[in-house]
Amino acid sequence: MKKVISGLILAFVTLSVNAQTDENLGIIPAPVTLERQSGFFKLDKTVVLISNEVPNTATADMLNAFITGKGGFALRTTKSAAGTERAILLTADGADKLPEEGYKLTVNAKTITVTGKGAGLFYGVQSLMQMMPEKKGQEIDIPASVIMDYPRFKYRGMHLDVGRHFFSVAFVKKYLDLMAQYKLNNFHWHLTEDQGWRIEIKKYPKLTSVGSERAGTIIGHHPGVTTDNTPYKGFYTQNEVKEVVAYAAKKFINVIPEIEMPGHASAAIAAYPQLSCFPDRDTYIDPKAPWTGSRKGKQLQQTWGVFDDVFAPTEYTFGFLEDVLDEVMALFPSKYIHIGGDESPKEYWKQSPFCQQLIKEKGLKDEHGLQSYFISRIEKYINSKGRNIIGWDEILEGGLAPNATVMSWRGVEGGIAAAKLNHNVIMTPGSNGLYVDHAQSPSPDEPVNIGGMSPYSKVYAYDPVPAELSDDQKKFIEGVQANIWTEYVESNEKLEYQVFPRMLALSEIAWSPVSRKDYKNFSEERIPLHLAKLDKAGVHFWVPTPLGQSDKQIDGEEITADLKAPVLGSKVYYTLDGTRPSEVSNSVKTPLKISVPKGKKLELKTIVYTLTGRSSVVTTTVLNNEAK
Ligand code: ACM
């Protein structure tokens, strides 16, 4: 019996896709409406850039810098169209009629007009830049078209855990650049953890002099096979924080700081032991966890997990947290301040006579009531400064003020419950692919990660608005976010590997209307194009499996594999003899016809290499011609 692995027809393994033939003109996220018209705008050095509104100067400069990089020429900028042949016009004229953050982009033979204000104009220019193909001769041909676009959700977020591993300011800026390209507008900066406190607080210098440095880190999966015996440290000064916040603002990204409480507090407690219910008790060290240095006193954690030594709900702690939050709120203009609230064990509060007395005094039911008291007190303080809290979905347990926003991470249920209680919700469920610390394939080549499986197809398939909500309740879903926890992400390269291409799928589910979702177009046309650009730009993304191949067994005696390269310009290599494929193996010419001897199984093993030499994991498909 003949079997075809997939119906994709393509000679060899190069792709013909580009921004001009793709029905979405190569734009991620897909715009709300896009109408392709005949002809092109020929961008060459005679074109002028008209930008006569002062607030648009930075966006005009960004476009000109991009054109210089792509075309080798900068455009002359002018204030008016008089006497010009062909022009790109950036304008807020008419933007008041557009939806929030929306833009209109029209391209014809004579003029490109981007209409928008602030973020809207910036996003219009992002789309325009994505539409530009490579230069042909002396010009860049941009397809004539009309695009109307605006976001589905007002909150489109990416998170970054800098507690488990620290990421430099330079890297954070690169991350923000990439977020902005994909129209993401909230950066959730997870700044405090058991393994490191990463933000300078002037009133409490030990938070960084003690709390930002651990003596060692486990190697291997939790609890670890050994320790690296190497001190690990890093924190952001307040000046660096200001630099990041200002940099993000220029890209229309709001930065939300997260100061975790009452759990995940080991680093703060190591710095100021009086924050613990038991200041004199040594930090608990998992007997299975390898350890470097002293086991006495309060220590930062060196392995991953959830730890019992949480903030004591004392007046000292509340005073400390208010002081910390004062400095944090002075640095971050964000309306939202994230206060964590997740994974806070109640064991120490159960054992503590002070906590038990407080529960009685306040008429609380138990330690969960105490957690609610803790969060409410902090919430009131933050509200008194004109800001609102975000917390992980555990903050729902025990009642909340109406303006608290809930981040649903333990599945979607927390988000559903919160919306039913009229709380704003940000959906970030690990169950639906939004934990991008999970693996992207079942291949044993995947580097050590936290576990679970979230290919980008799973992110793409997710709709952040739960079907079980009524139309009124659906309005509380403010947006969606992907989270990258960094227990197993110790380098910039690995972080990029975990985040890309999943961030691109997030971008589309956060921005584009459901009616514009098209996984085939996304994965076969636009992802290959964007990954080729990211390859050139030095982003260390996860290289997808060849299009048309899966790890499912295929039965048959003559099997035709129509494999297509998943990154524009990349090559697919394969073996059939069980050995690991590499660049010296045969490269795939499609369709690849494989005869499987009767009574036998073959393994088709493939690997993809991009133009810069980045490689994929090995994907294995078992081709089976054994009798059933
Ligand atoms: C979380 O992943 N603990 C919010």
pLDDT of residue 20: 62
Residue 101 lies in a domain: yes
Instruction: Specify the ligand 1 atom closest to the Cα of 435.
Output: 2
pLDDT of residue 16: 44
Strand partners, 311: 276
Residue 402 lies in a domain: no
> Does residue 10 register a pLDDT over 50?
no
Q: Is the CB of 409 under 6 A from ligand 1?
A: yes
Query: Is the Cβ–Cβ distance between 162 and 229 less than 8 Å?
Result: no
Query: What are the two backbone dihedrals, phi and then psi, of residue 89, each rounded to the nearest 5 degrees?
Result: -115, 125
Question: Percentage of the chain surpassing pLDDT 70?
Answer: 97
Per-residue pLDDT tens for 25-82? 999 999 999 999 999 999 999 999 999 888 889 999 999 999 999 999 999 998 877 7
Torsion angle of the four alpha carbons 508, 512, 516, 517, in this order, in degrees rounded to the nearest 10: 30
Query: Is the Cβ–Cβ distance between 230 and 293 less than 8 Å?
Result: no
Q: Which of 104, 126, 149 is the last residue of a domain?
A: 149
Radius of gyration of the chain (CA): 27
Instruction: Specify the ligand 1 atom closest to the Cα of 430.
Output: 2
pLDDT of residue 371: 95
Q: Is the CB of 342 under 6 A from ligand 1?
A: yes
What count of Cα atoms within 13 Å lies in the side-chain half-sphere of residue 397? 16
Q: Which of 133, 149, 165 is the last residue of a domain?
A: 149
Find the catalytic residue in 343, 413, 493, 557.
Answer: 343
Per-residue pLDDT tens for 370-420? 999 999 999 999 999 999 999 999 999 877 777 899 999 999 999 999 999
Per-residue pLDDT tens for 116-139? 999 999 999 999 999 999 999 999
CATH number for 136: 3.30.379.10
The span from the CA of 217 to the CA of 270, in Å, is 16
For the question of residue 343 being annotated catalytic, the response is yes
Residue 211 lies in a domain: no
Q: Is the CB of 343 under 6 A from ligand 1?
A: yes
> Does residue 516 register a pLDDT over 60?
yes
Question: Percentage of the chain surpassing pLDDT 90?
Answer: 90
Residue 376 lies in a domain: no
Torsion angle of the four alpha carbons 429, 435, 440, 441, in this order, in degrees rounded to the nearest 10: -60
Q: Is the CB of 431 under 6 A from ligand 1?
A: no
Query: Is the Cβ–Cβ distance between 622 and 601 less than 8 Å?
Result: yes
Q: Is the CB of 392 under 6 A from ligand 1?
A: yes
Query: Is the Cβ–Cβ distance between 106 and 88 less than 8 Å?
Result: no
Q: Is the CB of 435 under 6 A from ligand 1?
A: no
Residue 54 lies in a domain: yes
pLDDT, average across residues 589-596: 84
Q: Sheet of 558-561: strands edge to edge?
A: 2-4, 558-561, 592-595
Q: Is the CB of 476 under 6 A from ligand 1?
A: no
Q: Which domain holds residue 139?
A: 33-149
The span from the CA of 556 to the CA of 571, in Å, is 26
The span from the CA of 276 to the CA of 270, in Å, is 9
pLDDT of residue 571: 94
pLDDT, average across residues 221-231: 95
State pTM to two decimals.
Answer: 0.96
Our measurement of the distance from residue 103's CA atom to the centroid of its chain's CA atoms, rounded to an integer in Å, reads 24
Min mean pLDDT across 36-40, 215-219, 373-377, 584-588 is at 584-588
Protein residue whose Cα sits closest to atom 2 of ligand 1: 409
Q: What angle is formed at CA 468 by the lines to CA 463 and CA 470, rounded to 5 degrees? A: 105
Which stretches within 203-295 are classed as H helix?
206-209, 238-250, 266-271
The span from the CA of 595 to the CA of 560, in Å, is 9
Say which amino acid occupies 441. S
> Does residue 84 register a pLDDT over 80?
no
| Burial track 472-485 (b if 16+ CB lie within 10 A, e otherwise) | ebeebbbbbbbbbb
Residue 14's pLDDT band (cuts 50, 70, 90): very low
- C-alpha 104 – ligand 1 centre gap (Å): 38
Residue 111 lies in a domain: yes
Query: Is the Cβ–Cβ distance between 72 and 139 less than 8 Å?
Result: no
- C-alpha 374 – ligand 1 centre gap (Å): 19
- C-alpha 499 – ligand 1 centre gap (Å): 17
When divided into structural domains, the chain yields a total of: 2
Q: Which of 124, 149, 174 is the last residue of a domain?
A: 149
Min mean pLDDT across 421-425, 452-456, 522-526, 581-585 is at 581-585
Instruction: Specify the ligand 1 atom closest to the Cα of 340.
Output: 4
Instruction: Ligand 1 pocket test: pick from 485, 486, 487 the residue with the most ligand atoms within 8 Å of its Cβ.
Output: 485
Residue 188 lies in a domain: no
Residue 394 lies in a domain: no
